[in-house]
A and B are shown apart, each in its own frame.
Chain A
Amino acid sequence: MKTSKAILAIGLAFAGLAVQPATAQSLTVSNQGGQPGEVQRKTVFEPFTAETGIKINIDTFNQELARIRTQVETGNLVWDAISLNPINEAAGCEEGLLEKIDWSKYVDAKAFDAVGACGAPYLASPGTLVYDSDKLSGDAAPKSWADFWNVAKFPGKRALMYQPDQTVEIALMADGVAPSDVVKVLTGPGGLDRAFRKLAEIKPHVKWWKSGDESMQLLLTGEVSMGYGWLGRVNAANASNNRKLRIVWDAGYTNALIYFGVMKGSPRKDAAVRLIAYQLSAPAQARYMEQLGNPPANSDANALLSEARRAALPDPKARNGMMQAGPTYINFWLDNGDAIRQRFATFVAQ
């Protein structure tokens, strides 16, 4: 009968559906998405696939550690390799969510500032004060985070990240803390309260963004007059829209190494390690950073960059950055991160 055949066919189809389609020859990678993600696909993933035959599926996440925890703790691994900020690299490593990998076996560790116990850094990502120089110029342009906070003199909405890490650091800079002192003040007594008090001043004027793409969209569409944004996003937004978003380096900025790690228990660990090692190699780093404009994590890649790009790279040592690193800083976030995130969510929603 027709029906029984149809039922059989459906049954077979269902049986097939339960099987994960990802094979040994494909990897699922989760990165920051957006235009920088697109650059990463073109300059790193596609050449990698061409060289090894390993296909890359790309997913996007906004550093919600929860999504990693969920996959590892329930045993439903969707991702194999993931992009991580320094806090999540440390937390994920300590919680056993990431594979512990001795990266010195795969890369030349001397070329890197730091290699994590679980993740390997692939770029440095400064988070900065950005404005549209076509709309604001001269005296109307902000010079500091204090200006950013000064809505009377500089009207318009502000874009800030809907996450406490990086945002409370920025608030302290606006409150007059030098970038080099931010870690000390933040982790010291009353530092966090001071940051939240400062954030409360500007809260009514803030449009909070959740993804890097949103942060640029808000600036490009004129929804906000200035915002907090990452270097790679700003470069990409300027390049693809032919715009003149400008970074105020002198205001002070956060700076973080962004890592790649392997999900604990990934059945494709070897391929994932291979991809990450490939991504950290000097040629791949140079191709990637040439387009993105971020400082490469592999210092050997600097020599392979074009003259123009090298000149345009921010020099973290000469400039005014606050590095999101070091045991004091990382442990502060490991111990208090959940509580601060909850406080932040409450604070923003009130």
Chain B
Amino acid sequence: MAAATHIPATERAVLIGSRIFTTLVFIFLIAPIFVVVPLSLTAGQLLVFPLPGLSLQWYREFFTSPLWTGALANSVFVALVTTVAATTLGTTAALGLHGARFRFKPILVALLVTPIAVPVVIIAVSAFYFFASINLVGTYLGLILAHIALALPFVVITVSATLQSFDPNLPRAAASLGASPLRTLRTVTLPIIAPGVASGAVFAFVTSFDELVIALFLTSPQQRTLPRQIFSGVSENISPTITAAAVVLLIVSVLLMLVMEWLRARSQRLRNPLETA
């Protein structure tokens, strides 16, 4: 950063101006998210400032009301099953795509990643009609299958990106030493691409954990997830408990983001150990 010493006044003004602008943009990005934190501590019944007093009542409600604890449990359960399934499927698919070269590969790649490009509301409505015809609406399985379809592309993309920098000679070396393909996969390939797989898993988890639109169409009260319950708390059964729930979601998101960035840094280090000296 050898900037800032001999630059003309106009450019300096631009620089300062753009920094002020950037600061304002960051405030715009961050501040609204954290507004819910003080509100979740309100002693009143309405989501307005100034707070009439401080209280943990909404957190108590969140962690004791069966509606909210059930929703949290549902969300965690659905997200975990989705993560395991999508990560397994996505990683094998990425390995397959990486290892093979054939004519129709671009079509398969396109097929595997298009769910990202299609508006979620269309995926949700399609899933709803389809699952209604096979009696999966209002079941955990229906919700999980739809979430896997949504999360799978993220895993495929993330793991594929990791595989691109993966040295193809390593598995060949293992094979020439007599290791079976499965053993090669387990002892050579997977450990190296592990950060990518973990990133994909985090992506899959968040995709499911934060997902609302599909849950709106596919769940009955028994499978109600946390976002679905928050949505209800914003529109039908209005209650400040939504702010406590929002803070919980926020904490989970930020933690997962930190895990993600850590994984990213780690996989970069593994890839180019010299660069990050």
Contacts and interface: CB of A to CB of B under 8 A. Distances in A.
- Are A and B genuine complex partners? yes
Interface of A: 10, 13-14, 17-22, 28, 33-34, 37-38, 57-60, 62, 70, 74-76, 78-79, 210-211, 213-214, 217, 220-221, 240-241
B141 A76 contact: no
6 contacts: A17-B139, A18-B139, A28-B222, A34-B238, A214-B235, A217-B238
Nearest to B223: A21
B220 interface: yes
Contacts of A28: 220-222
B150 interface: no
Interface stretch (B14-22, B30-38, B128-136): B128-136
Contacts of A37: 237
Contacts of B232: 33, 60
Nearest to B45: A241
Contacts, number: 76
A241 B240 CA distance: 13
Contacts of B237: 33-34, 37-38, 60, 213
B141 A70 contact: no
A165 to B, nearest CB: 19
A10 B132 contact: no
B221 A57 contact: yes
Nearest to B220: A78
Interface in B54-111: 81, 84-85
A60 B81 contact: no
Contacts of B84: 10
A62 B232 CA distance: 11
Contact of B220 (A38, A59, A211, A241): A59
A214 B138 contact: no
A76 B238 contact: no
A240 to B, nearest CB: 6
Given A13-B81, A59-B221, A76 B132 contact: yes
B132 A70 contact: yes
B127 interface: no
B183 to A, nearest CB: 12
B137 A62 contact: no
Contacts of A62: 236
A20 B141 contact: no
Interface in B121-168: 131-133, 135-141, 144
Nearest to B144: A17
A75 B84 CA distance: 31
Contacts of A34: 236-238
A341 to B, nearest CB: 19
A18 B136 CA distance: 7
B126 to A, nearest CB: 14
A33 B236 contact: yes
A17 B140 contact: yes
A225 B85 CA distance: 52
Contact of B137 (A14, A59, A76, A214): A76
B36 to A, nearest CB: 16
Nearest to A237: B45
B46 A57 contact: no
Contacts of B81: 10, 13-14
A213 B238 contact: yes
Contacts of B132: 70, 74-76
Nearest to A78: B220
Contacts of A240: 45
B3 interface: no
